[in-house]
Amino acid sequence: MDTKAMISHPKAKASDYEKLIQDYEIHAAPGMKPLPLDASAAINSGLEAAAKATNPKDSIGATKLPLSWVPESALVFLAMAFTEGGIKYGPGNWQESGVRVSIYIDAAKRHVAKFMAGEWVDPKTGIPHLASAMACYGIILDADMLNKLTDDRPVPNTALPDLIDAGADLVKHLKELYGK
């Protein structure tokens, strides 16, 4: 199956999709199968077995994106964050006014930083910080789909992905060096 048909974005290159699949295959944890990105692989890995031979909808439904795999608790926490934002700014406000990437990345980073510092819930709103971070990322994705996103990221450092990947080799070297 053509990976470009699976995940498409106007700013992505075909090589990005090929690398994504290769990375999933190379970087899967030992003893674990990589997440199938191909619908036929998903069917062969278990969805097909759940389909009833008597119901033609099952064989078709088993080829669709399994939204039921998303934890309901994540949706509830996300709804909490969107409820707070909807009351504060108006529901779906970004869908009309548009948003800048940097504003929502900065907000998400602040929520994650507070979570990492030990603060699970925002004391002012009562919303978990990770739920608010998920909402920020969701708004970016939705605004992009609606062509309401202003991409004001800095000029990309194209060497950064390779530097991040090289970090794994450094960690391996340091663990071997110190016997860990």
List the chain domain ranges. 70-153
Q: What is the phi/psi pair of residue 147, to 5°?
A: 60, 40
Mean pLDDT for the stretch of residues 48-75: 82
Largest Cα separation within the chain, whole Å, is 59
The residue among 156, 163, 154, 157 whose CA lies nearest residue 106 is 154
What pLDDT sits at residue 28?
A: 45
What pLDDT sits at residue 107?
A: 98
Average pLDDT of the chain, as a whole number: 82
Q: How many CB atoms are located within 10 Å of the residue 40 CB?
A: 11
Mean pLDDT for the stretch of residues 11-26: 54
Give the integer Cα–Cα distance in Å for 40 and 3: 12
Instruction: State pLDDT tens for residues 98-147.
Output: 999 999 999 999 999 999 999 999 999 999 999 999 999 999 999 999 99
